[in-house]
Each structure stands twice: as structure tokens, then as C-alpha cells.
């Protein structure tokens, strides 16, 4: 009993917000809710009171209510119907960050090197999410996409992109200028273009809502306005709404995934560098373009360049930019400003700008120029005819990419990164096309969790506690020979 009280006091006395999460976070003092107080006092007197009486103890805890957190939670409820799954989200609703602020494009999967996770999951994810939308009557516009070249050098880059796409098993067509114009009369290209018939547009928030409903129907508990603040040595998680002692934790916290991971001892050599994406909407009538139009991407950067997207409702937008942001949620003005974050992010970006990486410098400067409406429209006008600044007056909702930087190599990671052990798994660098990849990626994350658990020592300090229960169940499923 005495040791339990000591644990409670030590949690209560922890300094405010030690991991530097944003200001909305409050320190967690584990106290019973007022309505519970007399009961708890009674139990305390009768010596039957235990720490777990005050804690939520789900078998699985998912941190982050974006597309990945929700898809992972959904997959957990499918694979482990008899275990409890809880998701915490710091905002009041799901999809407030990248998952609700992206281009809404289901990519086909030809940009990524064939051995990458991105290549595999994009192809599968495109197919699965397209079918999911059709089966669930969610809006989807199967408008395809043209990738165009500006000059002879770009035609050769385009050809490499096409060959890579074929290696990735993506259905693509190598077409000439006349064929490209038959698909979209306004397109501009030099001699050739790639046509991707399976690229589609969806409404990301509708998809997210539908996936979360699937999971809720199977028992997922979503707790919004609940921010992860830290974890102590007994694997008890501190949140802005109290403590949770999960059996297993999966971190899908997007822009804060590296911080959450570090609280568990992971992501030591990684930091998230936020890159902001701005969009401009056209005032032209819906479906003024029939298809998405993209430039040949710069192979040295993980971003696709300014392009035309036909949204699921037929509106035309250009963007997104990829300019370094000064803090993680720097959407507008000083909203969500954090001095500490601004300092950290500013120092990292300055180091990259002043370091030996001339490519990064060139990229950052180019991107900053794109915050000018004129410049953005100018770039778009290289892809299609009749593009006028006067038609592009309305800025759209910006999004921010949670781009992972390897701080030892000073390199931006290009593929998804997953780290973990027998108690927690961390999804890092869930950048584009993370939305398209969500379903196969979430299965991969759960397979990874199973592997981590199966390779852990089979005995556990508290086999009947939530951690012990989940791990035993998981290791039994991962390796049936370990069934006790
Ligand atoms: C501008 C832009 C355009 C894009 N376009 C496309 C596209 O067209 N197609 C595509 O496939 N992908 C696209 N992407 C990528 C895609 O949006 C992301 O890969 C995907 O949304 C990542 O999902 P997520 O769940 O990891 O992150 P998020 O959506 O950011 O979710 C993370 C969640 O974690 C929560 N959280 C953070 N910290 C905490 C904490 N401490 N406690 C509790 N909760 C926390 C956040 O509030 C957030 O809701 C784009 C991204 C951007 C930024």
C-alpha cells in the first residue's frame, strides 16, 4: 500500500509537461473523480484499494486519431475481438492534422523505390481504399493522373519513373502528347507523359469517419481531448485526462510521433521536421480539368512538387508547397505556437540550411518562394494551359508533413520507419502517401507488434495484469507453440 501511495505521489509531483508537449497539456495528478472519492476512500480504509482501480487498463492503447491510428485500432479490433482497444487523441475530433488536411489523392505507387514499404503499401492501399469507398458508398472520383515533362531531360526522368512504376506492379500507360491531350485537353507536356488510370480522389475525412465507425462497432473506445504526456517505468501512461496502464502501446501521433517515441526510449537519432503545404483553389467551374496533373518530381526530395488536384467534388486546387515550418502545428499566425518547439525546429532547419547539403538549401529556398500566390500559379501554369492568377484567389486549409530527419546523417528519411519492442511500437515518418497506404500499413504494424512480442522473453512480471494478458495472447497468436 505504502509503495502504491509513493507511486501516486511521485506521479503527482512530476514537473509540468516534462517532455515538452504543447501548452494545452496539463500535468496529470492521479486523483479519483469527485463522485468516486467516498468510495475510493472507503476502499483505502478497507485495504482493498489497488492502483489499477484508478487506471484505465486497455489491452491495447493507440496514441493519435489520424488515419494511421484509426486504421491500426480498427485492425486490432478485427484481429483481437476479445481484447480491449482504446485510442487517445489530443484534439476534440479525429483528423484535425495531416489526415484531414491532405490532397485527398489515392496514389498508385510508382514514385517509390521497388523495395520500399511505400511502394508495396501504396499499390495495395490504392486498390483497397478504392474498393472500400465503393463498398461503403463514400465519394470517390476515379479521375486518374497525368505526369508531364517540360523538356527532353525530363522525358528521360519520366521514362525512369515509368520503368520504376512497372517494377512496382503499377498499371501505367506511356503516352504521347496527342494521347495526353485526349485525356485532358488543357495539359502541357513535352513529347510524352505517363497516365495512371488508378489514381483517384477521395474525401479524407469521410474515409476516416467510416473507418473509425467500423472500429467503434467492434468495441474501440475513442477518448478525445486526451493528450499523451509521458510514460513511467511501470509502463503507466500519463495523459491530460488521467493515467492509463495499457498492455501494449502503439504510437501514431503524427507530428509528435518522435517525441512520444523518445518517451519510450526510441527515435533517439530522429527528429520530425515539419514541412508546410499550402493550397490555392481555382474559382473556375467544377471539373474544369478532367484529371490530376503532376510534374516530374525532383528525385532528391520526398515531395511531389506543385500539381493540379481535382478534388472529389470536382474543384481544382494547386499545391501543396513543402516549405519548412517553424513549429509543428504552424498552420496560421501564432496558433499553437511553442517557443521551445520553434527553437528546436529552427535550430535543426538552420543546421540543414547552413550545412553542406546544398540540395536542401536549394529546395528550402525554392519552397519559400512558393508562398507567393503568383509564383505558385506560375508553376502550375507550366503544367496546363489557361491558368490565370485571377482564378486562384482562395487559399485552402494548409497541411503540415511530419517529415523525419536522421540527425546523424542529416538526411530526410524517404520511407516509413517503425521502431518498437515487446511493450510499444512507434510509427515514424508517416508522410505522403500515408493516407493511401493506411490499410496495408496498419496490418504491417500489427505484424511488427506480433514479431516484437514473439521475440520477447516468454515470462512476464505480471502475467495477469493487462500487459501480461495482451503479451501472452499476442505471443500465442504470433507463435502458437508458445501457448501455455
Ligand atoms: C499537405 C499534405 C498533403 C498530403 N497529400 C496526401 C495525398 O494526397 N495522399 C496520401 O496518401 N497522403 C497524403 N499526405 C500524407 C497523409 O496525409 C499522411 O501520411 C497521413 O495523414 C498521416 O496520418 P497519421 O495518422 O500518421 O497522422 P495525423 O493525421 O497527423 O494524426 C496524428 C494524430 O495524433 C494526434 N496526436 C499528436 N500528438 C498527440 C499526443 N501527444 N497525444 C494524443 N494525440 C496526439 C494528433 O492530434 C493527430 O490527430 C499528405 C500530407 C500533407 C501534410
pLDDT greater than 80 at residue 367: yes
| Percent of the chain at pLDDT exceeding 90 | 71
Backbone angles phi, psi at 284, to 5 degrees: -65, 160
Least confident of 188-197, 423-432, 451-460: 451-460
Is there an atom of ligand 1 within 6 Å of 302 CB?
no
The confidence band for 473, taking pLDDT boundaries of 50, 70 and 90, is low
**Distance, CA of 435 to CA of 113 (rounded, Å):** 18
- The more confident residue out of 334 and 145 is 145
* Local confidence band at 368 (pLDDT 50, 70, 90 cut-offs): confident
Percent of the chain residues topping a pLDDT of 70: 83
Q: What is the largest CA-CA distance in the chain?
A: 84
User: According to the model, what pLDDT value does residue 117 have?
Assistant: 97
447 CB-side CA count, 13 A:
6
Q: Which residue is listed with cell 515550418?
A: 325
**If you average pLDDT over every residue of the chain, what do you get?**
85
pLDDT in the model for residue 352: 84
Instruction: With residue 365 as reference, give the H or E element that holds it.
Output: helix 358-369
pLDDT at position 47 is 31
In short, whether 239's Cβ falls inside 6 Å of ligand 1 is no
Q: Is the pLDDT reported for residue 11 higher than 80?
A: no
Residue 118 Cα to ligand 1 midpoint, Å, equals: 15
The Å distance, Cα 335 to ligand 1 centre, comes to 18
Predicted confidence band of residue 35 (pLDDT cuts 50, 70, 90):
very low
**Ligand 1 center to 462 CA (angstroms):** 35
For residue 445, is pLDDT > 80? yes
- Comparing 107 with 470, the larger pLDDT belongs to 107
d(CA 335, CA 327): 10
Residue nearest ligand 1's atom 33 by CA = 64
Q: What is the pTM of this model?
A: 0.86
Q: pLDDT tens across 195-250, in order?
A: 999 999 999 999 999 999 999 999 999 999 999 999 998 889 999 999 999 999 99
Grid cell 463514400 in the structure block, residue: 138
Beta carbons of 262 and 253 less than 8 angstroms apart: no
Residue 67 beta carbon below 6 angstroms from any ligand 1 atom: yes
Residue 10: pLDDT over 70: no
Query: How high is the pLDDT of residue 395?
Result: 95
Tell me the pLDDT tens digit for each residue of 158-180. Answer: 999 999 999 999 999 999 999 99
**Ligand 1 atom closest to 253 (CA):** 34
- Tens digit of each residue's pLDDT (9 = 90 or more) over 300-315: 777 888 999 999 999 9
**266 in contact with ligand 1, CB cutoff 6 A:** no
Specify the pLDDT at position 27. Answer: 26
Confidence check: pLDDT of 472 > 90: no
370-410 residue pLDDT tens:
888 999 999 999 999 999 999 999 999 999 999 999 999 98
Nearest CA, atom 39, ligand 1: 253
Averaged pLDDT for residues 275-289: 96
User: What does the angle CA 225 – CA 229 – CA 232 come to, to the nearest 5 degrees?
Assistant: 135
- Cα of 7 vs centre of ligand 1, distance in Å, is 35
User: Residue 474 has what pLDDT?
Assistant: 57
Average pLDDT, integer, range 184-190: 97
| CA atoms 422, 423, 428, 433: torsion sign | positive
Q: What is the pLDDT of residue 19?
A: 42
Q: Which three cell numbers stand for residue 16?
A: 509540468
Dihedral sign, Cα of residue 25, residue 26, residue 28, residue 31: negative
Is the model's pLDDT at 9 over the cut of 50?
A: no
Amino acid at each position: 500500500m505504502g509503495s502504491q501511495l509513493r507511486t501516486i505521489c511521485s506521479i503527482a509531483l512530476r514537473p509540468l509537461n516534462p517532455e515538452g508537449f504543447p501548452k494545452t497539456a496539463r500535468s496529470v495528478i492521479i486523483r479519483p473523480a469527485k463522485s468516486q472519492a467516498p468510495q475510493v476512500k472507503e476502499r483505502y480504509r478497507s485495504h482493498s484499494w489497488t492502483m489499477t482501480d484508478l487506471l484505465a487498463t486497455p489491452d491495447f492503447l493507440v496514441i493519435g486519431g489520424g488515419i494511421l491510428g484509426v486504421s491500426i485500432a480498427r485492425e486490432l479490433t478485427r484481429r483481437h475481438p476479445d481484447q480491449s482497444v482504446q485510442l487517445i487523441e489530443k484534439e476534440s475530433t479525429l483528423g484535425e492534422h495531416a489526415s484531414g488536411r491532405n490532397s485527398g489523392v489515392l496514389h498508385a505507387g510508382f514514385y517509390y523505390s521497388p523495395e520500399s514499404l511505400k511502394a508495396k503499401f501504396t499499390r495495395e492501399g490504392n486498390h483497397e481504399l478504392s474498393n472500400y469507398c465503393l463498398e461503403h458508398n463514400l465519394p470517390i472520383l476515379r479521375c486518374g493522373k497525368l505526369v508531364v515533362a517540360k523538356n527532353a531531360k525530363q522525358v528521360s526522368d519520366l521514362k525512369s519513373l515509368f520503368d520504376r512504376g512497372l517494377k512496382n506492379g503499377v498499371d501505367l500507360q506511356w503516352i504521347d502528347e496527342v494521347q495526353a491531350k485526349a485525356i485532358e485537353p488543357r495539359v502541357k507536356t513535352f513529347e510524352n507523359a505517363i497516365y495512371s488510370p488508378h489514381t483517384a480522389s477521395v474525401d479524407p475525412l469521410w474515409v476516416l469517419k467510416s473507418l473509425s465507425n467500423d472500429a467503434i462497432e467492434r468495441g474501440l473506445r475513442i477518448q478525445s481531448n486526451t493528450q499523451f504526456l509521458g510514460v513511467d517505468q511501470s509502463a503507466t501512461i500519463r495523459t491530460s485526462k488521467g493515467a492509463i496502464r495499457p498492455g501494449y502501446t502503439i504510437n501514431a501521433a503524427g507530428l509528435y510521433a518522435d517525441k512520444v517515441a523518445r518517451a519510450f526510449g526510441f527515435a533517439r537519432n530522429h527528429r520530425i521536421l515539419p514541412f508546410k503545404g499550402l493550397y490555392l483553389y481555382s474559382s473556375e467551374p467544377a471539373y474544369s480539368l478532367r484529371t490530376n496533373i503532376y510534374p516530374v518530381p525532383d528525385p532528391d526530395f520526398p515531395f511531389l512538387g506543385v500539381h493540379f488536384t481535382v478534388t472529389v467534388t470536382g474543384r481544382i486546387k494547386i499545391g501543396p508547397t513543402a516549405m519548412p515550418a517553424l513549429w509543428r502545428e504552424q498552420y496560421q499566425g501564432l496558433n499553437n505556437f511553442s517557443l521551445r518547439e520553434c527553437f528546436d525546429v529552427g535550430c535543426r532547419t538552420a543546421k540543414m540550411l547552413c550545412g553542406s547539403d546544398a540540395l536542401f538549401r536549394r529546395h528550402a529556398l525554392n519552397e519559400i518562394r512558393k508562398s507567393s500566390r503568383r509564383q505558385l500559379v506560375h508553376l502550375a501554369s507550366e503544367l496546363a494551359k489557361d491558368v490565370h492568377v485571377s482564378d486562384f484567389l482562395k487559399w485552402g486549409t494548409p497541411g503540415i508533413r511530419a517529415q523525419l530527419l536522421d540527425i546523424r546523417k542529416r538526411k530526410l528519411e524517404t520511407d516509413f520507419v517503425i521502431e518498437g519492442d515487446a511493450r510499444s511500437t512507434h510509427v515514424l515518418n508517416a508522410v505522403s502517401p500515408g493516407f493511401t497506404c493506411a490499410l496495408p500499413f496498419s496490418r504491417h504494424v500489427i505484424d511488427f507488434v506480433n514479431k516484437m512480442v514473439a521475440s520477447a522473453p516468454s515470462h512476464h512480471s505480471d502475467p495477469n495484469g493487462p500487459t501480461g494478458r495482451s503479451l501472452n495472447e499476442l505471443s500465442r497468436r504470433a507463435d502458437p507453440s508458445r501457448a501455455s
